[in-house]
Structure 1
Amino acid sequence: MISMMRCDDRLIHGQVALLWSKELQLSRIIVASDQAAKSDIQKNALLLAAPAGIKVAVVPVAKAIELANDPRGAKLKMLLLTNTVANLKTLVDNVDVETKVDIANVGRIGGGNLNDKHKISETVYLTDDEVEAVKAIGKKRNNFVYQPLPSDTPVPFLSLLKGE
């Protein structure tokens, strides 16, 4: 079962490896990224960053959807992790499980000028297209939050958008 979908520029890093994996009692992490899946260097780095005892799959978004919807995963506790809002929207649109959706750290790395983005929080900067994508996600998912750490109080993500 997918315990949570998370959008985070950094993919597997300290917050995911140390905090979220324990909080969610994960047995699997599925990294949904076409770019990461093509890079042996990035794949290996992500595998090394994962906590001991948690299996990791670094796969294209289409394969992640297939894995997430596979009924054999119903007994597993999985985190579906991606690094772009566009990928997150694709996952939300195509993964059948109702679960928490968290955007926590996105838009500060990976290129682009921060002046061309809307500052949603200290850790989330979105383009106009990404703002539209998160609005669409919010219409599909009830448990759509901003929660960087498990110890943080989840905030309904759409409440962070100015004028919403």
Structure 2
Amino acid sequence: MVGIIIASHGEFANGILQSGSMIFGEQENVKAVTLKPSEGPDDIKGKLEAAIASFENQDEILFLVDLWGGTPFNQVNNLFEAHKDKWAIVAGLNLPMLIEAYASRMSMDNARDIAAHIQETAIEGVKVRPEELQKKAPSTKSKNAGAAAGKPGKLEYVLARIDSRLLHGQVATGWTKATNPTRIIVVSDSVAKDELRTTMIKQAAPSGVKAHVVPIDQMIKLSKDDKHFGGQRALLLFETPQDALRAIEGGVPLKTLNVGSMSHSVGKVQPNKVLAFDQDDIDTFAKLKSDGVTFDVRKVPTDSKDDMDEILKKAETQLQKQK
């Protein structure tokens, strides 16, 4: 696996490393190197050399640096000269760039290829409101969302997820990179009636992917359409397990549900950090299981899977204690 070193002035490298872990999960072979106000070039050079030495494979290293021409970049560049046939440097670090680098390591095994690939994502990550101020950048990704639209065939479901936060960073980056959908579809009667939430969801879609918000009955109809969705890969988001059950029993052909987040509210118990249940939720999961649905309990693709049966048992025990 390609090693990644994040280098910056101040604590930026540590902060963006933490942000990337929150969204894409903890990563191996990644180090943050910082230049503190009281330090100089030799200090950060020593830190860079120590970070490099910590990698088992030192042949393929990608350096993500905050500022071209700054001290962190200059010290990286000095080290790079002896390895420029293998190593690569990208300056102008932002969070979309880092997440794309993480995702790219899954399929690319050399630093130079990853460096070339992540530049477009970094540029497209810069967005402006009001929209008329946004400068249009050339993009090849934007062609993907409309590819094969209108061709005969049904939707292919690459992921169906229960997440009370719906379309947020972990979905827009980690899960989108892992499943490569052409469309993200939020399936919810309540959100479909909320113009503001619908607008925000559409604006949060990652580059090259179209986002939609549809009522549950409309999703059931779309799932039966075999004339217009050939080649379309759908990532479905449900706000609650009840919405997912209604869609599945209405005919949406889902065999697995990824369970990512269920927010806490009055009357619910929380058997782990991200999932909260009341009795109706527990009963709904039992019904889904009886319908042949399996559960993939993970926040991000790199997490290990949790046991849904054990989680539900803990929730039932906690609810009994509340009575």
Give secondary structure in 1 for the equivalent of 2:300: coil
Alignment of 1:3-152 (within 5 A): 3-71=158-226, 72-108=228-264, 112-113=265-266, 116-152=267-303
Equivalent residue pairs, number: 159
Q: Which runs of 4+ in 1 moved over 6 A?
A: none
**Which runs of 5 or more structure 2 residues have no equivalent in the other structure?**
1-155, 317-323
- Residue 121 (structure 1) shift: 2.1
- Residue 96 (structure 1) shift: 4.2
Asked if structure 2 preserves the Cα contact closer than 8 Å seen for 1:5 and 1:99, the reply is: no
Name the CA shift for 1:142/1:42 in 2 (closer, same or farther; >3 Å).
Answer: closer
What corresponds to 2:313 in structure 1? 162
User: Aligned partners of 2:251 and 2:179: how far apart in 1?
Assistant: 19
Identity of aligned residues (%): 26
User: Aligned partners of 1:74 and 1:134: how far apart in 2?
Assistant: 31
Asked if structure 1 preserves the Cα contact closer than 8 Å seen for 2:160 and 2:257, the reply is: yes
User: Aligned partners of 1:99 and 1:22: how far apart in 2?
Assistant: 21
Question: For residues 106-161 of structure 1, what are the alpha-carbon distances to aligned partners after superposition, in whole Å with 9 as ceiling and x for unaligned?
Answer: 132xxx31xx2132321010110110001111222343121111101223423322
- Report the more deviating stretch, 126-135 or 75-84: 75-84
Question: For residues 53-105 of structure 1, what are the alpha-carbon distances to aligned partners after superposition, in whole Å with 9 as ceiling and x for unaligned?
Answer: 11111011111222233224352211111111210111222234244211210
Name the CA shift for 1:149/1:16 in 2 (closer, same or farther; >3 Å).
Answer: same
Give secondary structure in 2 for the equivalent of 1:3: strand
Provide the alpha-carbon RMSD of the alignment: 1.9
Give secondary structure in 1 for the equivalent of 2:190: helix
- What is the letter of the counterpart of residue 149 of structure 1? V
Q: Which has the larger radius of gyration?
A: 2
- Residue 33 (structure 1) shift: 1.0
**Which runs of 5 or more structure 1 residues have no equivalent in the other structure?**
none
Greater percentage in strand: 1
- What is the letter of the counterpart of residue 77 of structure 1? R
- What is the letter of the counterpart of residue 229 of structure 2? G
User: Aligned partners of 1:141 and 1:23: how far apart in 2?
Assistant: 24
Question: For residues 16-52 of structure 1, what are the alpha-carbon distances to aligned partners after superposition, in whole Å with 9 as ceiling and x for unaligned?
Answer: 1011011001101111111111111111100011101
Asked if structure 2 preserves the Cα contact closer than 8 Å seen for 1:138 and 1:158, the reply is: no
What corresponds to 2:133 in structure 1? none
What corresponds to 2:80 in structure 1? none
Give secondary structure in 2 for the equivalent of 1:162: helix
Structure 1-normalised TM-score? 0.87
